[in-house]
Structures are given as structure tokens and as C-alpha cells.
Amino acid sequence: MVAMEPMPLSDAAPSATIRGGLATTAAPPRPGPRRFLFLQGPISPFFLEVARGLAARGHGIHRINLSLGDRLFWGRVEGQPPAVDFQDRRDAWPAFIAGYLDRHGITDVLLLGEQRAYHRAAIAAAAARDIAVVVTDFGYFRPDWITLERDGMGGDSRFPRDPALIRAMAPSFPPADLTERLRDDFGRQASWDVIYHLANLAPWPFRHYQSHQLHHPLVTYWGVARRLLRRGAERAEGARALAAIGDNPFWLFAMQMETDFSVRAYSRYPDLDTPIAETLRSFAAHAPAGGHLLVKVHPLDPCMKRWGDRISRMAEAANLSGRVHVAHNGNLDDMVRGMRGLVTINSTVGLKAVVFGKPVKALGTAVWDLPGLAHQGTLDSFWTEGAPPDPAFRADFLSVLQATTQLRGVFYAAEGRAIAVAATTEALHADRIGAFLPPAIPAAVVQAPG
């Protein structure tokens, strides 16, 4: 497979200025040029384009490739050393990354997926040396924002858990902008994803690389492709589910992907079967007698577990036949608007429910799981006691979350990616990441999900 040279930043310049970026801090950035180390990032040229932007501003750029896919999505950065390939076994990685940080005087580490084993070791080594770590991923706000945070996201986020602090911070920031302004390119995302993961199957030269994925990529792609071929049937299924519910009150369970670290690391669940079954048992025992439950499957779940049949058996076991419906596809906004409340582990659909002013219950650890926004009581009590978010606090929370952790842009489509690259480069150069947020919250004091 031939290495690809991604599009230079200048070739994808945005045609218009799009509002949205991390808040500007009056504190000066760290003095002098810094040395940025890029580890695994989005499966796109995003990291390379950010690196070129930082190099143009006088900063040093370093890159370590852990896999062949990493190598394919990296290229030359003018005036900077070439990327280094780590080809040893994973147990040699902690010593390697610690030595690399020391030898090159790294000041900042950038990565996506703070819970990947390689990245956990890198973050630990960086923390021991007081090196800044910046984590990115898709935005808490969807679909045209990305996240930039210090140290981690979700359960490791530095975003405050104290509503009083959020209220005190809010007057410093503008209201959240909830208008969708950019579109991403799913076709490009899918093709780059396939290139990346198939490259990582090659037995050479990264023969010791261990992926964080749970399933073989070919199995995953077959499942997703099968769903794409059935897209029309899945949409019809979602419409039928809403029609079957009719005027009855219903609650929504928003599924995530079992491979997602937001489930694997930021909840107590080993899979999705466990929280679904738990929710159905609670619904059967405590929800209003005429209520229905709609289970929405994640759009990218390969459905190797055949969720429709699986959830039907769970519903029958909970004596809920006829009151539980499964939707693999359908209009999510219509579902959220019509529901009485939402249950999820920690999906960003929870934030959508907050935006829509709907009651929501988190079963895991989420930045939006706060008093005044989400139900803090038990799941059993949620069905009758779940309350909408407080409107004033909701506005404050959305404003602060967006201003301190979000940048407008996308990872794939050229125009939106260029906007994200320019904003990310500026935020890193100005040292604005997490500038207004408190230090990281120790994992021991994060409340366990109820």
C-alpha cells in the first residue's frame, strides 16, 4: 500500500469564518517555542495539518507511529525531524516513551483516545514530567464540533462537577451556539477508516502492534456494510416503532458501541447487554403501566449481536412484551422531542436531551451528569421522578462547556477540517487548552454511577 500525502492546510482553507472556539485567556502562553509530540489521532490528515500549522509558528514537531495506519496518515513537516516508528512489543513502550520525552524535551503531547493502552502509558510518563497532554475527539456538541481537553474526556475530564462554579464562570462566556454550520463527509471517513485498519493487519513492519479494538476490522466492516444496505428498512423500522407507540408515553434508551471507551472505561458495565437488561427490569417494576421503552441502536454498531432479537428476548423475560421497541435507525430528533425522558450510559445523546429540555439519566460518568441537568436519583426513581433540566443552569452549562472544551469544525470534510485545524493550531499556540478549567479531578472522587 502506498503512503498517502494528505492535503496541505492551504489547499483546504475555509471559505468563511465560522464562530466557535476555546475561550481566550488573558494569561500569557508558556514562553518560547514548544515541542509537540503527536501520537495516534483522528483517522484523517487532521494531526498532520495541525503539526504543519504549529511548525509554521516556530514550534518543534515530533511524531511516533505505532502502526502502519499511523504512518499512512502522516507526512513531511518542513524543517522538522521525520516520524519515528515504534516497532517493539507493547511492554517495551513505557520505557521507550519516557526516554523519548526526556531526550527531545517534549513540552506537549497530543492524542485521541486517552484510554488506549499505549496512550495511558504516555500520559503517565508525561504527568511524571509535568508535560501537558491534550486529548481530542468528536465534540460533545454534534455534529460540527470537536473536543480539546487537558488530560482526558468523560470521566477524566477537568470540566467542573460543581454547579455553583459553572454558574460563576458562565457570565465570562457567550451563550452556546447550537446552530449546525458545517457538514462532515461520512464517505471519506469510512474510506479512510478502512485504509487505516486494513493497513494495521499487515504483518510488517509493525508486527508487535496491539490494537485497542475489540473486534477484527473485517467483521466490523461486514456488519456496518450490511446495515448500510438495509438503511431503508432500518428507517422504516424506526418509523414503525414510533407508530406502534402512538400517543402512549415513552422513554428512550440510547445505545452506544461496546468498543467505545466511554463504555469500557467510564462505566461499570462490561458490555451493553447488562445495562439494557438492567433498564428493562427497572422499567417493568417502576415505570407507569402505560409507558413504552424505545431502544435506539447506535448508527455505527455492526450489530454482531443482532440487537433486535436480543432485546426482544430481554423484554419477554421482563414481562414487557409489546412495550419495548427497537429502532436501528430513524429520526433521533423526533424521538428526543417526543420522549418523556432518556436513559443512556454516557452518550452525547444525553447532551442533546439536555438541550431539548428533557429529563435524562446517566448510567455511567458523563460531563453533563450534574444536579440541575440530569436525574441524580436511582434508575428506579427516574421513571416517575425524572425532571427536565433547570433552564437557567442549562444555559450556563452549555455556554461554559462549549467555550472551554469545544472548537467548531470536523475531522474529515475539507472545509470543516480546515476550520478545525486553524482553530486548533491557534489554541495550541496560544496555550489556551483548559485555561479556565480546574485541575484534573482524581478518579477516586468521581461519583460512581448509581
Q: Tell me what pLDDT residue 441 has.
A: 44
CB 107 within 8 Å of CB 35: yes
pLDDT tens digits along 240-278: 999 999 999 999 999 999 988 889 989 999 999 999 999
How does strand 324-327 pair with strand 341-344?
A: unpaired
C-alpha cell at 240: 414503525
Q: Tell me what pLDDT residue 214 has.
A: 84
Residue 414: exposure state from Cβ atoms within 10 A (0-12, 13-18, ≥19): middle
Q: How far apart are CA 310 and CA 272, in angstroms?
A: 11
Provide the whole-model pTM. 0.91
| Per-residue buried b or exposed e for 70-91, using 16+ beta carbons within 10 Å of the residue's own CB | bbbbbbebeebeebebbeeeee
Q: Tell me what pLDDT residue 27 has.
A: 62
H-helix or E-strand spanning residue 362 = strand 360-362
C-alpha cell at 400: 461554559
- How many other CB atoms are found less than 10 A from the CB of residue 201? 14
Do 9-162+406-435 and 213-369 come out as alike in CATH topology? yes
Which of 245, 227, 238 is closest to 331 using CA atoms? 238
- In this structure, whether the domain defined by 9-162+406-435 belongs to CATH 3.40.50.20 is answered with yes
pLDDT tens digits along 322-350: 999 999 999 999 999 999 999 999 999 99
Top CATH class of 213-369 equals alpha beta
Domain boundaries, the chain: 9-162+406-435, 213-369
C-alpha cell at 434: 483548559
Q: How far apart are CA 389 and CA 410, in angstroms?
A: 28
Percent of the chain with pLDDT over 70: 92
Q: Tell me what pLDDT residue 16 has.
A: 35
What is the mean pLDDT for each group of 10 consecutive residues in the chain (450 residues)?
33 44 71 94 98 98 98 98 98 98 98 97 98 97 96 92 96 96 96 97 96 90 91 93 96 95 92 97 97 97 94 97 96 96 97 98 97 98 98 98 97 98 97 81 36
